[in-house]
Structure 1
Amino acid sequence: MHSDSSATDAGTADSGTPDPSTPDSTPVATSSVSDALTDLFGGAERTRTREDILTEYGISNDHADRVWSAFGLPHDPTGGPVLTDAEFDALALFVMADRDVPGEEADERALQYEIATARTIGQTMSRLAEWEAVRLAQIARDPRFADRIPELARGFEIAQTMVWRRHLVAGLQNAMQNDRHGASETVVGFVDIVGYTSLTRRIDTGALTDLLDAFESNAHSIVTDAGGQVVKNLGDGILFTIDNPTAAGNAGLALTQLADDQTMPPVRVGLAYGPVVTRFGDVFGESVNIAARLAGAARAGSVLIDSELADALADDDTFFIKTIPTLSVNGYRRLHARVLQPNRRHSDSRR
């Protein structure tokens, strides 16, 4: 009886009937999933050509190429329709947004802003879409859920629009408080994993992915809970800003505690306080460079801060600021730095 049952099971598997206990037993055709997403997002007919764009927007062929490339979109050598009517109207608003300022210099500046904005949008959307595509592909391999891919993709679209709107409101409020050049006083922070390069040689890609996911998720939570913003992920590092010096100091110390989890290697943090210029989602200024240099010079599990942040925290008894010799790092022969630690006496007095 046992052998008959085995033969029956084998015959069932060979017949192509899906086995629900093995989700990958019947791969879903890639073309069917792709067609479903095309119907969902690209159902409207593309009627507007490249020539329509040039004529309607009054821009040069070269500028159109640069904007399109900045979005990260492939060119259609046939000259056929590339946009739906709705996409054409939306792109018109994007292109014409800065064109109402008089003067040739203003117009040239607007053209440069268009390219820079398109590049920022293209890079951000490309990374986001790549992650979403990988996740959807994982789900699509399970025949039980493959028919839900369009629904899940629509969910991604709704979620990212909701999150974008809220970040836009918060970002606009912050930008309106800064001067017209976008400069503001803030704490710039950089945190990275100690010994990351050697770590990649010791663990497999699956374990590395899990580690980076945990690091990024926990670090993002600490920064946002402190009222800050993650600017970008840089491999094993994260660049962030926090306006309030005390909140930034507490966040820096909290980040070093991530290594309390036995699965997480130690991290190090650099914090610098000063004016930064915000441009297309990125931050620029000397404090950005200093924060990165401080993080690179910090010992595992420690927080290094610059002299400006040390002055801002001097009267805050929740911290202990330790003086160390000046650092010689790339770009700075004598960089004044301090070690930031929690004030144990203050903590004990509150118990």
Structure 2
Amino acid sequence: MTDEVQDGVQAAALDAALLGGPRTLSLRDIAERSGMDLDLVRLYWRTLGLPHPDADDVAFTARDAEAVERAAGMLRDGHLGSRTMISLTRALGHTSDRLALWQVEALVEDVATRHGLDDPAARRAVLEELPQLAPVLEDQLLHSYRRHLASIAARYAVEFAAGGEAAGGTGADPAALPLARAVGFADMVSFTRRTAGLGSTDLSDFVQRFETAARDVVTQCGGRVVKTIGDAVLFVADDVRTGARVALELARVLGGDLDVERERGAGGLAEGARGVTPVRVGVVWGRVLSRFGDVFGPSVNVAARLTDIADPSTVLTDPQTARLLLDAPGLLLEPQPERELEGIGSFAPVRIRTA
């Protein structure tokens, strides 16, 4: 059997294992089966972030058709509008693409490390194992998703039972952003210098250790990670004191220093120091809009800009947030000299410290 034929057989086997069967349908077939307009079916597929072939190309499976039919049923029954359906589909596509790539690359790295394989050989080995791994990964994904959905529902129930600012009441101002939250950024110091020249394994390990440590701190202190951006983490908390506590703990836990030159001499990142690197932290209380798995609003911009002027392993806030923390036990608030923040203007930050 030639390599081309073997690759074709493997691709068909992967389709059967991962997609539930062969590709026997076109976009036009799916549109007819679901009763949806062809353009809407095409849009649905495009927002998943997957290749969208011509209308008559046979590229889809029976499971693809079932997914579109379920979405069409929700539209027909009035459970959601077409714009919302596309937004939900885009969320699935964006998140699933990142999740699948993250998991597959982690598997490749694991196989390469454990079996001493080069990258191409490791990728072929993972391809062979995917049919056995996929059901386990799928079950774990569904379990995690339901737990997170339940967590959000419980948080909303608590907020609205309590009422007040945290519940998102905007009072008399209908134009105000809906949610009152503490928003914080923690930005790694000298990321470029620290990672220059690292190989793929050490760079992956460095970033993973940072993300893991940051996520652990945020969740243990009662906050939530919105996203990580390589050398930075964005988090939110439902009350201002929790936000300050998260910020201080990030600055403390990630306050060690990595001697990259020494670690290179030791053949990689030193085990005891991995994932610990100084961060500059900004935290601000304000109203935000939560959309697309992200948060938006003036307070987000201010928190990000504060990391530009903070010293390593310190936490800065704005005067309005500082006033809300005046009576918080265990905190010291130190007004700082006025500074110019890009895009914001003249600004007098306040440093938050542990008493």
Q: Does the TM-score normalized on the shorter chain lie above 0.5?
A: yes
- From the superposition, tell whether residues 118 and 338 of structure 1 become closer, same or farther in structure 2 (CA, over 3 Å): same
Report what 1:221 is aligned to: 216
Cα displacement string for residues 77-133 of structure 1 (whole angstroms, at most 9, x for unaligned residues) = 36244444444233333355456569xxxx9xx333333322222111111111122
> Which residue of 191, 198, 206 corresponds with 2:193?
198
1:226 touches 1:242 (CA, 8 Å); kept in 2? no
Pairwise CA distance, 1:210: 1.4
For residues 230 and 32 of structure 1, the distance between their equivalents in structure 2, rounded to whole angstroms, comes to: 42
- Aligned residue in 2 for 1:22: none
AA matched with 2:303: A
Q: What is the distance in 2 between the residues matched to 1:227 and 1:31?
A: 50
Q: Which of residues 38, 41, 59 in structure 1 aligns to 2:15?
A: 38
- The partner residue of 1:168 within 128, 149, 170 is 149
The letter for the 2-side match of 1:165 is R
Does the CA-based 8 Å contact 2:27-2:38 persist in structure 1? no
**What whole-Å deviation, never above 9, does each CA across 1:317-338 have from its counterpart, x for those lacking one?**
2110110123311221123421
Structure 2 residue corresponding to 1:65, chosen from 34, 42, 51: 42
Work out the CA distance in 2 between the residues paired with 1:307 and 1:97. 47
Structure 1 CA distance, aligned partners of 2:303 and 2:31?
Answer: 44
State whether residues 33 and 140 of structure 1, in contact with CA within 8 Å, keep that contact through their aligned partners in structure 2.
Answer: no
Q: 1:115: which partner in 2? A: 86
Query: 1:134-145 maps to which residues of 2 (within 5 A)?
Result: 134-138=105-109, 142=115
Q: What's the TM-score once normalised by structure 2's chain length?
A: 0.76
Say which one has the larger Rg: 1
Pick the aligned partner of 1:293 from 305, 316, 321: 305
Q: 2:96 aligns with which of 121, 125, 132?
A: 125
Question: What is the 5 A alignment of 1:255-266?
Answer: 255-257=250-252, 258-260=254-256, 262=258, 263=273, 264-266=276-278
Matched-pair contact (CA < 8 Å) for 1:186–1:276: yes
The answer to whether the 8 Å contact 1:302/1:339 transfers is: yes
Q: What is the aligned-residue identity percentage?
A: 30
Deviation at 1:301, TM superposition (A): 0.8
Q: Match for 2:220: what amino acid?
A: D
Residue identity matched to 1:298? A
Partner Cα separation in structure 2 for residue 47 and residue 148 of structure 1: 25
CA contact (8 A) 2:18 2:134 kept: no
**In 2, Cα distance between the equivalents of 1:40 and 1:56?**
24
Q: Are 1:91 and 2:86 an aligned pair?
A: no
The 3-state SS of whatever aligns with 1:322 is: strand
Q: TM-score normalized by structure 1?
A: 0.77
Q: Output one character per residue of 1:219-259: Cα deviation in whole Å (capped at 9) or x when no partner.
A: 00111112222111112111111112222212111111213
Task: Name stretches of at least 5 consecutive residues in structure 2 with no aligned partner.
Answer: 1-5, 161-166, 170-175, 259-272
| Cα distance in 1 for residues equivalent to 2:301 and 2:49 | 29
CA distance change for structure 1 residues 328 and 222 in 2, over 3 Å: closer, same or farther? same
Q: Which runs of 5+ in 1 are unaligned?
A: 1-28, 344-351
- Three-state SS of the structure 1 residue aligned to 2:255 is helix
RMSD of aligned Cα (Å): 3.1
2:288 maps to 276
